Chains A and B, each alone.
Chain A
Amino acid sequence: MRRNAVAVVGAAETTRLGVIPELSQLGLHADAALNAMADCGLSPKDIDGIATANETPVQLAHYLGITPTWVDGTSVGGCSFMLHVRHAAAAIEAGLAKTILITHGESGKSRVGNPPRSVPPSSLAGQFEQPFGPMGPPSMFTIPVMRYMKRYGVTEEQIAQVSVVQREWAAMHPRATFRNPITTDDVLNSRMIAWPFRLLMCCLVTDGGGALILTSADRAKDFKTKPVYILGTGESVEPPMVSQMEDFTSSRAFRVAGPTAFQQAGISTNDVDHLMIYDAFAHLPIYGLEDLGFLPRGEAAAFIAARNTAPGGKLPLNTNGGGLSYMHSGMYGMYALQESVRQMRGTSPAQIDGAKISVCHGVGGMFAASGTIIFSNEEPAAIW
């Protein structure tokens, strides 16, 4: 069915990650975009498609001096960039554009040039959730977890293990925000945010950005960078209100996006060498492992606690340390994609030797949206 494969040829994060008060949100987008263009030797005149979230593609095209024939402003939260990759791959295959830039920038910590975030009181969330006292993701994304814990007998200690294991991965990354080892007790004794969630079970809040450049696999060979091919993609959405999630122990959006990508890629979970699951909070890798089909329901927490996803484990997961330790500007999906690309290029500071297939799974809102991208460093012609 598919005529042409698509590859990532340019990938970069902002020059710095962490606290960057000297750049606005727009400036962070541009810094990442310029770094990605430099990565693969392109200039704005070579880009004919642009996708972004938070800022509009109109703003970015003008700011960077790009004249696009294709734009995508899909904005569904932190996994928007997974959806951009999916849409960009389809656009390149369809001939709508040849070279597409996807940008992210967010002044999550310094709040320079960020649009205000508020929930209109006339929206459904404004009417039926906000009056009961939620204040942002730490008090909403976490609400389903008690039901999961009761159904499967999962403990707070097991959820804390997610944070402990990911810190081990972060320790290998010079650019990670938090690199010092932590113990289960450290996590459980950290400041209570929204019981049962402590501070160290919640993502960081930092400034940063990232960008990707995609083109056809045929053209990818002309670039100096090692092409990272897109094998399969998926996307979906679920209720915009966490209280209306169909099943508090599983994400329907995950269960649609993930299998769609695996089916397109023609692979099974056994073929996966490296995995990224967007971890705004410590329960997300648990839900993701189960909803993507890596484990039966209720088994993921014990699987992580048994160090299967830790350095040296059989399923390396969130090898940059994730949103819990690496960085999290608010829309983390771009940083998960960057680590997948590094692993496929063989350039991650926490490189998995011989990794050929990387799955990168994102979430948007409070379980409201999802996008899955499956990458490979081997050209997929054989399976298409």
Chain B
Amino acid sequence: MAEPGRALPAPTPETQHFWDGTKAGELRLQRCDSCGKNYFPPRPFCPVCASRSVSVFKASGKAILWSYVIHHRPVPGFTPPYAIAVVQLAEGPRMMTNIVECPQTPEALQLDMELEVVFEAQNDKITLPFFRPAKG
């Protein structure tokens, strides 16, 4: 899936654990030790109660399809039409992603369908999390 030209992230100190996780085959979220909130994207404090006491944990990788568009215009690294999706993780947070191993059609992409994370290395530093229809 390593098409040339796809925009790739430049991790910052606050997000490095997430990108280390995808490279290691883990989807890492954060949880507030004070109020218990699971959250994303990464930051070193809780977005609900502002506690600096937070932990990184490995998410289940299970999600449902929350919403999407099927993009028909050319973008470097993509072959249109392709879906740009937001999934809701089993742990609560939502994230943008692409849906793989699935036709990029309204018929195949049904909201609330069950998904699971897969990881695809883009280069030796960056691995992106995608989602595919859950198996079994």
- How far apart are the CA atoms of A241 and B128 in the complex, in Å? 18
- B24 contacts partner chain A, Cβ-Cβ < 8 Å: no
- Chain A residues contacting B96 (CB-CB under 8 Å) are 128-129, 132, 134, 143, 241, 243
Q: Judging by beta carbons under 8 Å apart, are B72 and A145 in contact?
A: no
Smallest distance from the beta carbon of B112 to chain A beta carbons, Å?
Answer: 8
Chain B proximity mask over A105-121: 1 for CB below 8 Å, otherwise 0: 00000000000000111
> Of A122, A135, A143, which contacts B10 at CB under 8 A?
A122
| CB of A42 to closest CB in B, whole Å | 44
**CB atoms of B75 and A127 under 8 A apart:** no
Chain B residues, Cβ within 8 Å of A139: 69, 71, 73, 84
Q: Is A243 a contact partner of B95 (Cβ separation < 8 A)? A: yes
> Does B41 sit within 8 A of A, measured CB to CB?
yes
Contacts of B72-121 to chain A: CB distance below 8 A: 72-73, 75, 77-78, 81-82, 84-86, 94-98, 106, 111-112
Asked whether any CB of chain B lies closer than 8 Å to the CB of A296, the reply is no
Determine if A73 is an interface residue (Cβ-Cβ < 8 Å). no
Question: A195 touching B84 by the CB < 8 A rule?
Answer: no
Residues of A within 8 Å of B95, CB to CB, are 128, 243
Whether A147 is near chain B, meaning CB under 8 Å from some CB there, is: yes
Cβ–Cβ contact A130 & B71, under 8 A: no
Complex Cα gap A193–B74 (Å): 10
| B68: Cβ under 8 A from any A Cβ | yes
Between B9, B10, B78, the greatest number of chain A beta carbons within 10 A of the residue's beta carbon is seen for B9
Q: Whose C-beta in chain A lies nearest to the C-beta of B87?
A: A243
CB atoms of B75 and A121 under 8 A apart: no
Contact B84 A147 (CB under 8 A): no
Q: Interface size (A, Cβ < 8 Å)?
A: 37
A244–B41 contact, CB under 8 A? yes
Chain B residues within 8 Å of A127, by CB: 9-12, 15, 19, 41
Decide: A132 and B84 in contact? CB cutoff 8 A: yes
Given A122-B12, A128-B9, residue A143 in contact with residue B70 (CB < 8 A): no
Say yes or no: A131 contacts B72, CB within 8 Å.
Answer: no
Residues of A within 8 A of B71 (CB): 133-135, 139, 193-194
A294 interface residue, CB < 8 Å from B?
Answer: no
Contact B98 A132 (CB under 8 A): yes
Chain A residue at smallest Cβ distance from B69: A194
In the complex with contacts A121-B10, A129-B96, A150-B111, A135-B73 CB distance below 8 A: yes
Asked if B52 CB lies within 8 Å of chain A CBs, one says: no
Most chain B Cβ neighbours within 10 Å, of A127, A144, A192:
A127
Pick from A132, A138, A191, A242: contact of B97, CB below 8 A. A132
Given known pairs A129-B96, A132-B96, A243-B95, the reply for A146 and B75 (CB within 8 Å) is no
Q: Is B66 an interface residue (CB 8 A)?
A: yes
Contact B72 A143 (CB under 8 A): no
State whether the Cβ of B6 lies closer than 8 Å to any Cβ in chain A: yes
Q: Are B7 and A121 in contact (CB under 8 A)?
A: yes
B108 to chain A, nearest CB (A): 12
A145 to B85, CA, bound (A): 12
Q: A130's closest neighbor in chain B, by CB? A: B7
Whether A126 pairs with B81 at a CB distance below 8 angstroms is no
Nearest to B43 among chain A residues (CB) is: A124
Asked if A143 contacts B68 (CB within 8 A), the reply is: yes
> How far does the Cβ of B91 sit from chain A's closest Cβ, in whole Å?
15
Instruction: Judge whether A131 and B6 touch: CB under 8 Å.
Output: yes
Q: 12 pairs across A/B with beta carbons < 8 Å?
A: A120-B10, A122-B9, A122-B12, A138-B73, A139-B73, A143-B69, A150-B112, A193-B72, A194-B69, A194-B73, A243-B96, A248-B66
What 8 A-B pairs have minimum CB-CB distances, sorted nearest first?
A: A127-B9, A194-B69, A195-B70, A147-B67, A243-B96, A121-B10, A122-B10, A130-B7
Q: Which residues of A contact B (CB under 8 A)?
A: 119-122, 124, 126-135, 138-140, 142-147, 150, 191-197, 241-244, 248
